[in-house]
Structure 1
Amino acid sequence: MSSDTRGVVEELLRRMAEGDHHRTAQLFAESIDWHLNWPVEGHPAVPWIRPRSSRADVTDHFQSLESHHVPELNGTSVTQILVDGTHAVVFGKIAQTVRASGTAYTSPFALHLTVEDGLITRYHVYEDSLTVALALSTQT
């Protein structure tokens, strides 16, 4: 595996797409600057959106996210990766289907990552969290 920023980011995206949560977590430092916090912590529709700060939290995040969606219907795509030294920004579109209701939704996203010594130390997600929360709140 590459330890340069672009190589780590590309490996992260590959592992996320494969659904390999434990191997994905191995790309993160023990302590992480994590930002994915709207709606506020504790919203019942989106339990994976909460403060996190460790490598162990990464596995839990992706397992929780997957448990609420149909992985086979994931159409999330990346449109651009920008790298500047240790920083990378990934742009794309989330396309998911809610497991409980079958509701499909899309949202643009940006992901700001920092890679230091071959590990991800910053993971900040910017998305249309209102769309996500509304899709997960829909009852069949």
Structure 2
Amino acid sequence: MSTDTHDVVEELLRRMAEGDHDRTAALFAEPVDWLLSWPAEGHPAVPWIQPRSSRAEVADHFRSLEAHHVPELNGTSVTRILVDGTHAVVLGEIVQTVRAGGTAYTSPFALHLTVEDGLITRYHIFEDSLTIARALSTQISP
């Protein structure tokens, strides 16, 4: 496996697209600096929003995402990967469909990664959390 930042980012995106959660998590250092652009308390409709630091927790994050969405309808795309030394920024658009009711949503995203010695040490994702929460909230019973 390459230790080059761009190569590791490309491999991460490939494994995420394949849905190979354990192999995806294997790309992460322990502990990992993990941040999702949501309020610290998360949202009841979005259970994957929680602190993470280990590979097992990273794999759980991606499993939870898959459990709440229809993988066959995932249209997420990457428009640009910018690399500066150990830092990378991935820009794109999340396109997902909620499994429990079929609500589709779209959100731009920016993912800030840091790669050191071939492992991801920082995973900070910024997305339209309001749009995502609304799409999943329609699935909660009153």
Which TM-score bucket, shorter chain as reference?
over 0.9
Other-structure match for 1:76: 76
Q: Provide closer, same or farther for how the CA distance between residues 47 and 66 of structure 1 changes in structure 2, counting only shifts above 3 A.
A: same
Q: Kindly provide the CA deviation profile for residues 44-91 of structure 1, in whole angstroms up to 9, marking residues without a partner as x.
A: 100101111111110000000110000000000000000000000000
- The CA deviation at 1:124 is 0.1
Distance 2:40 2:102 in 1: 24
Contact 1:39 1:129 in 2 (8 A): no
Q: Report the more deviating stretch, 100-109 or 48-57.
A: 48-57
TM-score, scaled relative to structure 1: 0.96
Is residue 111 of structure 1 aligned with residue 78 of structure 2? no
**Displacement after TM superposition at 1:43 (Å):** 1.9
Corresponding residue of 1:97: 97
C-alpha displacement at 1:2, in angstroms?
Answer: 1.6
Matched AA of 1:116 = E
Which residue type is aligned with residue 32 of structure 1?
Answer: V
Q: What is the match of residue 128 of structure 1?
A: 128
Q: What does residue 62 of structure 1 align with?
A: 62
Cα separation, 2, equivalents of 1:5 and 1:89 = 11
- The runs of 5 or more residues in structure 1 that have no matched partner are none
- Helix, strand or coil: the match of 1:14? helix
Alpha carbon RMSD of aligned pairs, Å? 1.2
Which residue number in structure 1 is paired with residue 4 of structure 2? 4
Contact 1:37 1:50 in 2 (8 A): no
Q: How many residues align?
A: 140
Instruction: Provide TM-score, normalisation by structure 2.
Output: 0.95
**Paired letter, 1:79:** T
Aligned to 1:49: 49
Task: Note the C-alpha offset of 1:38.
Answer: 0.9
**1:138 maps to what in 2?**
138
Q: Deviations over 1:66-120 (max 9, x none)?
A: 1000000000000000000000000000000000010000000000000000000
